[in-house]
Amino acid sequence: MSSGKILVAQGGGPTAVINQSMVGVTLEARRFRNVTRIYGALHGVRGIVNEDFLDLTQETSHNLELVAATPSSALGSTRDKPDTAYCTRIFDVLRAHEIEHFFYIGGNDSADTVRIVSEQARAAGYPLRSIHIPKTIDNDLVGNDHTPGFPSAARFVAQAFAGANLDNAALPGVYVGVVMGRHAGFLTAASALGKKFPDDGPHLIYLPERVFELERFLADVKAAYERYGRCVIAVSEGVHDAAGEPIITLLAKEIEKDAHGNVQLSGTGALADLLCEEIKSRLGIKRVRGDTFGYLQRSFIGCVSDVDQREAREVGEKAVQFAMWGNADGSVVIRRMGFYSVDYELLPLDQVAGKTRTMEDEFISESGTDVTDAFRLYLRPLLGSGMPDAFRLRGARVDKILAR
C-alpha cells in the first residue's frame, strides 16, 4: 500500500445513518499515517466512472460530524447496477487515480459490485483493498444480525403505527399502512413494536415471506373489525400471490421498471388504495383509510435510533481497520454478542454479495399475520433510547341517567 489514497462511495437507497459510515471511514482513515488522501465519489459507482470525486481530507471534523448526523447520502447515490464492463471501468479509474482502498457503503447489489472489482484487481495484479460496508433499511443482507439504517427506519415505522393506532382509536375505522420492503418483511414487521396495549394495532401484519390471498385478507380484516370495532393493518409493499406476482400489479396497468428489473413498488399509493377499495366494497365498511409511508420512512429527519447511529459509525471505522490491518477483501458484518451488544467481522464478499435475507420463520407467528416474541426481543434494543410512549385514560365510567 503505497499511494495512500482511499475512496469511499454510497450506493442504493439513502438511510438516516449512511453518512455515519462515510464519516466513520473518513475520520478513522485519517488516523493512519499511511493515508494521504480520502476521496468521496459523487453518486456512488457512477461518480467513479465519471471521476466525480470530492477530497474529504479537506473537510473539517466539525462539519463531518454534522454531516454524519444528517440523513440521506451526502455524497449522493445511484441506482446503477454495474455489470462486468462497468466494473472494469470502475477499476480503470481507481488505477488511474492510484486509489488502493475502495470502500462502498450499500446493500447486496453494492456488495456484488465490490466483489467484481475485487476480482478484477486481483486478476490485474493491482494492489487494491476492497471493502463492502453494509447499509439497507430492508435488513436483507445475509451474514448480519441486522444492517445499519434498518433500526432507524424501523423506529419510524413503529412510531408511525403507534400514532396511527391512536388516531384510529379516536376515529374508529380501518387503517392500512403500506411499508417498504420488496422481499424482506422486517420493516413491515417493525410496526408490531408500535403496539402497547393488547387491543392496540397493528391488528394484522402482512409480510412478503407469506403468500397474500385477498379472500383470506378480507376475512382477517372482517374478524378483527368485529372484535375491536376497528382495524389497523400493516402491509409490505412486496406482498404477492402464490405465483409470486406482486399484488400491486393487480391494479397497476403500466409498471415502471428500474435498471435492476424491479417493479416500482414505492412512490405510489396504488397498493394502499387498492386494498382500501376492496375493504370498502367487499366488507361494506365506510371509514377506510390508507397511507403509503413511501420515502418518509427512510428520509424523515429527526427520527433516528442512537444505537443505529453508533453502529453505522462503527462499521465505517471497522472497515478501515480491517483494510489496514487485515489481509483480505470482504464485507463488514454485524454480529450480536449480548442483550444488547454487537461486534464486527469481515466476511468474504461472495458470502454476502447478491444474496437476500428474508425474515426467519421463528420471527413470524403461526397465523402469518403477526410477529413472535422472538422478533420483539430481536428488534427492541435496535430502536434505541427515548422511544416515545402512549398512555390512556383510566377514568371510571359515569352512570347513565337518561338512557338508564
Number of residues located near a second copy, criterion CB under 8 A: 88
CB of 375 to a second copy, least distance (A): 20
Q: Which is nearer to a second copy, 139 or 305 (CB)?
A: 305
Q: How far is the C-alpha of 70 from the C-alpha of 15, rounded, in Å?
A: 10
Site for a second copy in 6-25 (CB under 8 A): 10, 13-14
CB of 336 to a second copy, least distance (A): 25
Q: Which is nearer to a second copy, 25 or 359 (CB)?
A: 25
Please check if 358 is assigned to a binding site: no
Q: Which is nearer to a second copy, 214 or 285 (CB)?
A: 285
SS3 86: helix
Phi, psi of 389 (to 5 degrees): -130, 155
Q: Which of 20, 21, 77, 130 binds a second copy (CB under 8 A)?
A: 77
Q: How far is the C-alpha of 172 from the C-alpha of 189, rounded, in Å?
A: 23
Q: Which is nearer to a second copy, 276 or 319 (CB)?
A: 276
Question: SS3 string of 147-198?
Answer: CCCHHHHHHHHHHHHHHHHHHHHHCCCEEEEEECCCCCCHHHHHHHHHCCCC
| 22 sits in which H/E element | helix 18-29
Residues 6+ apart with CB under 8 A from 138: 107, 147, 150, 180, 181, 182, 183, 184, 186, 187
Please check if 180 is assigned to a binding site: yes
* b (16+ CB within 10 A) / e for 184-199: bbbbbbbbbbbbeeee
Site for a second copy in 97-156 (CB under 8 A): 97
Residue from 80, 112, 138, 308 carrying the catalytic annotation: 138
Q: How far is the C-alpha of 215 from the C-alpha of 204, rounded, in Å?
A: 14
Q: Is 206 among the residues that bind a second copy (CB under 8 A)?
A: no
Q: Which is nearer to a second copy, 157 or 323 (CB)?
A: 157
Q: Active-site residue 112, yes or no? A: no
The β-bridge partners of 334 are 344
> Which stretch in 28-36, 290-298, 309-317, 331-339 sits in contact with a second copy by CB under 8 A?
290-298
> Which stretch in 57-65, 104-112, 218-226, 370-378 sits in contact with a second copy by CB under 8 A?
57-65
> Which stretch in 238-246, 341-349, 368-376, 384-392 sits in contact with a second copy by CB under 8 A?
384-392
The β-bridge partners of 332 are 346
Q: Is 59 among the residues that bind a second copy (CB under 8 A)?
A: yes
Please check if 296 is assigned to a binding site: yes
> Which stretch in 73-81, 146-154, 203-211, 370-378 sits in contact with a second copy by CB under 8 A?
73-81
Site for a second copy in 230-259 (CB under 8 A): 256
Q: Which is nearer to a second copy, 67 or 283 (CB)?
A: 67
Q: Is 390 among the residues that bind a second copy (CB under 8 A)?
A: yes
Site for a second copy in 301-330 (CB under 8 A): 301-303
Q: Measuring CA to CA, which residue among 60, 79, 71 is closest to residue 19?
A: 71
Q: How far is the C-alpha of 176 from the C-alpha of 185, rounded, in Å?
A: 16
Q: Is 268 among the residues that bind a second copy (CB under 8 A)?
A: yes
Q: Is 396 among the residues that bind a second copy (CB under 8 A)?
A: yes
> Which stretch in 69-77, 136-144, 241-249, 325-333 sits in contact with a second copy by CB under 8 A?
69-77
Ranges of H-type helices in 171-305:
186-189, 214-228, 270-283, 296-299
Q: Which is nearer to a second copy, 175 or 217 (CB)?
A: 175
Please check if 108 is assigned to a binding site: yes
Q: Is 92 among the residues that bind a second copy (CB under 8 A)?
A: yes
Residues 6+ apart with CB under 8 A from 394: none
Q: How far is the C-alpha of 288 from the C-alpha of 271, rounded, in Å?
A: 14
CA distances from 303 to 193, 296, 388 (A): 15, 10, 11
List residues with catalytic annotation.
Answer: 138
**Residue numbering of the annotated binding site for diphosphate:** 13
